[in-house]
Amino acid sequence: MEALDIEQLLELARQAARHAYAPYSKFAVGAAVRTASGRTVTGCNVENASYGLTVCAERAAVFAAVAAGGAERLAAVAICSPQARPCPPCGACRQVLAEFGGDDMAVVLEQADGRPRVLTLGALLPEAFRHA
Ligand code: THU
């Protein structure tokens, strides 16, 4: 990915975090996914009074991307939380990302100084479980 694309994806994740519904944890998260064809879709965490029903920002973004345009391969995801820099995806979200992204999928995190750090999904979830 180009440096500009990475910055733009991170900025979209930052903006999505402003929509987070997190009255219980007060921990806002935003995510932006880029599909292989270049579509970009965002998501934020949405909590629930029954805590376990909470949906993370990354999963919200992935599911919204599928709902809006079908199950495309994912090229990249950017994740941002004002409460934690960086904010790496939780284990459940890593598995959901692996459903649509390969080991080379870019995972963009915001560092403490606001600059992006680019990892791969393969580094975050080695030997992921996938159906053949
Ligand atoms: N959260 C995310 O949205 N993404 C993650 O990868 C980790 C956690 C949310 C869930 C919950 O609303 C809040 O952050 C605190 O765990």
CATH, residue 78: 3.40.140.10
Q: Is residue 99 part of a domain?
A: yes
Please pick, among 2, 7, 47, 58, the residue that the annotation labels catalytic. 58
Rounded distance, CA 88 to CA 96, Å? 14
Measured in angstroms, how far is the CA atom of residue 76 from the centroid of ligand 1? 19
Cβ atoms within 10 A of the Cβ of 77, count? Answer: 28
Q: Is residue 129 part of a domain?
A: no
Q: Which structural domain, as residue segments, surrounds residue 85?
A: 3-124
Catalytic residue check, 7: no
pLDDT tens digits for range 38-90: 999 999 999 999 999 999 999 999 999 999 999 999 999 999 999 999 999 99
Measured in angstroms, how far is the CA atom of residue 40 from the centroid of ligand 1? 21
Residue type, 66: V
Domain count, the chain: 1
Q: Is residue 24 part of a domain?
A: yes
pLDDT tens digits for range 87-111: 999 999 999 999 999 999 999 999 9
Burial (Cβ within 10 Å: 0-12, 13-18, ≥19) of residue 50: exposed
How far from each other are the two terminal CA atoms of the chain, in whole angstroms?
27
Q: Give the residue whose CA is nearest to atom 8 of ligand 1.
A: 56
Q: What is the pTM of this model?
A: 0.97
Measured in angstroms, how far is the CA atom of residue 98 from the centroid of ligand 1? 18
Angle at 71 between CA 12 and CA 88, to 5 degrees: 45
Q: Is residue 132 part of a domain?
A: no
Q: Is residue 82 part of a domain?
A: yes
